[in-house]
Amino acid sequence: MLYILFVMPQLNMGGAERVIVNILNHLNRERFKIELLLFDRSGSLVDDLAEDITLHSLGVSSVAKGMPQLLKKIYGLKPDIVFSGMGNLKSLPLPLHSPP
């Protein structure tokens, strides 16, 4: 089973947020373990998430302030894939696994 961690600042009503919620709600649970990490657990779309989705929150309102906590959380969770629609995270290289 492939473990995918989705990362978003929050789930306010918006196009990217709605797409993430739709993807999360419709991914095959037999093939994928999916979890969502939010910088701040807020936004009207939080209530639209399927009940079986594990939701993590860093409890910070600023992406810049939450970056150290984000990296620590990612390393602790050890996902196979980190998926983010956030521009400032897409270019951040994360060596999540040690080379063989």
Kindly report the length of the chain: 100
Q: Closest by alpha carbon to 18, among 59, 39, 48, 38?
A: 48
Q: What are the pLDDT tens digits along the chain (100 aa)? A: 999 999 998 898 888 889 999 999 999 999 999 999 999 998 889 999 999 999 999 999 888 888 889 989 999 999 999 888 766 565 555 555 554 4
Question: Strands 81-84, 2-8: parallel, antiparallel or unpaired by DSSP?
Answer: parallel
Geometric angle at alpha carbon 62, from 56 and 68, rounded to 5°: 65
Q: Cβ(85)–Cβ(58) under 8 Å? A: no
Note the pTM of the prediction, 2 decimals.
0.85
Q: Count of alpha carbons within 13 Å of 65, Cβ hemisphere only?
A: 7
Geometric angle at alpha carbon 83, from 25 and 39, rounded to 5°: 85
pLDDT at residue 14, as a whole number: 80
Q: Can you list the domains of the chain with their CATH numbers?
A: 2-90 (3.40.50)
